Amino acid sequence: MNIQVDESLCIGCAMCVSMCESVFAMNEDGISEVIANQVTDEMMEEAEEARDCCPVDAIVIE
Ligand code: SF4
């Protein structure tokens, strides 16, 4: 499984960070980025919830 944020879509609302701070963090440009190297099942569940709540569908999980 691979988690990515599409930087061209992200509007920097920080919702994913508040929902799943072990995977997402805001970078210096105010855009979310994936910070996790290893993703546990629990982290993946949170990341999937964040993806489902992202207002611009910028989170891609493959
Ligand atoms: S929830 Fe979506 S739009 Fe908001 S910071 Fe995260 S990736 Fe960007």
> Domains of the chain (ranges plus CATH)?
3-61 (3.30.70.20)
Q: Ligand 1 test: best mutation among 31, 59, 61, most atoms within 8 Å of CB?
A: 59
Structure tokens at 16: 């994913």
Tell me what pLDDT residue 1 has: 79
What is the pTM for the complete model shown? 0.95
Q: How many angstroms separate the alpha carbon of residue 12 from the centre of ligand 1?
A: 5
Spans of the chain, pLDDT less than 50:
none
CB neighbours of residue 21 within 10 Å: 14
CB neighbours of residue 19 within 10 Å: 17
Short-list 35, 32, 21, 37, CA closest to 57: 32
What residues does ligand 1 touch, defined as CB less than 6 Å away?
5, 10-16, 32, 54-56, 58-59
CA distance 30 to 7: 10
